[in-house]
Amino acid sequence: MWWRSSRLPLLLLFSFLTLSVGRAAGSGFRICSYNLQNFNLKKAASYRLIHTLTRVVSRCDICLLQDVIDSDGKAIQTLLSSLNRYDDDYSYRSVSSKGLGKSPDDMQQYVFLYRTQTVSVMDQYQYKSKQSFVREPFVVQFQGNSTAIKKFILVPLHTDPAQAIQEIDRLYDVFEEVSKKWNNKNVMFLGDFHASCAYVTRTDKKKIRLFTNSNFSWLIGDKVDTTVNDETNCAYDRIVVYGKPFLKAIMPFSAKVYNFAKELKLSKTKVLEVSDHFPVEVRLKSSALLLQATPLPILLAVSAVVQSFLSALFARRSDKYQ
């Protein structure tokens, strides 16, 4: 009986560690990208739309919003207020570009929403080559509190459809500039690239350095549909990372489209109120000890400790009765 009573706490500890590893393996730091299709104060005035958008964005540690038309910041502030009321565990802030575009009637902003408990903004930079882009990337360097890669750079792009090939290719020039600026090659590109269907064909990829250079990994595949309408089946929205270190910091198979119509059981009408795009997302691994190793080695190590402890108890108990 003494052996059983001694073993029980250890078995409970072992079970707890097993469950903890399982939970940790399924978690991660989520980065999202969403084309909001003309998100302005009129859209933000819709309670139903903001509630839906809040449920979508609250899943993300960082969420890039594109096609935001909000020069006075009131639309984004409405969304931030909703987010901060919705989730008591996190508080959210934003960092935004100025209006970018080729005409006063179409000045869009890039906006990053982020959880202050899990990530912080290290620096920001507005790329300035207007000859290269209609909406030049607004680049932000973040630092995750518990991500496997601490500092990483996010480069957003919402291409002009007519110039999608050229603009995606010129992201390589942005990469060279910002990686040198911050001495950091952990760079992720994300946004509505229009990188599919008629805008970018298989032949066109030969003209794009982010495709031809094997150091760049496209995490959202060509056959993925990132659009809401049944009439389209195109991988417009993409996530691309540079280098093996950053790629290894990505949780396998975590890059995907978030079809919140299915997940939240919403009608297509409600989804289209927000946008005709679905968000795309990817998760980064945690730097926590339980995530630095794979679950099996951890469990084997714990098992070895338990067996060693029990063996010591057996030995002491045997000596006592000899």
pLDDT at 102: 87
pLDDT at 87: 85
Q: Which helix (H) or strand (E) holds 142?
A: strand 138-144
pLDDT at 9: 47
Query: Helix, strand or coil for residue 143?
Result: strand
Listed by start position, the domains of the chain span: 2-19+295-320, 28-285
pLDDT at 307: 57
DSSP code for 159: -
238 half-sphere exposure, CB direction, 13 A CA radius:
28
Contacts 24+ apart (CB under 8 A), 160-164: 160/102, 160/133, 160/134, 160/135, 161/194, 161/199, 163/133, 163/134, 164/193, 164/194, 164/195, 164/199, 164/200
Each residue's pLDDT, cut to its tens digit, for the chain (322 residues) gives 444 444 544 444 444 444 444 444 446 899 999 999 999 999 999 999 999 999 999 999 999 999 999 999 999 999 999 999 998 899 999 999 999 998 888 899 999 999 999 999 999 999 998 788 999 999 999 999 999 999 999 999 999 999 999 999 999 999 999 999 999 999 999 999 999 999 999 999 999 999 999 999 999 999 999 999 999 999 999 999 999 999 999 999 999 999 999 999 999 999 999 999 999 999 999 986 334 444 445 445 545 544 555 455 445 555 554 5
pTM: 0.83
Q: What is the 3-state secondary structure (H, E, C) of 174-242?
A: HHHHHHHHCCCCCEEEEEECCCCCCCCCCCHHHHCHHHHCCCEEECCCCCCCCECCCCCCCCCEEEEEE
pLDDT at 106: 86
Helix axes 74-86 and 47-57, enclosed angle (nearest 10): 60
pLDDT at 308: 58
CATH architecture of 28-285: 4-Layer Sandwich (3.60)
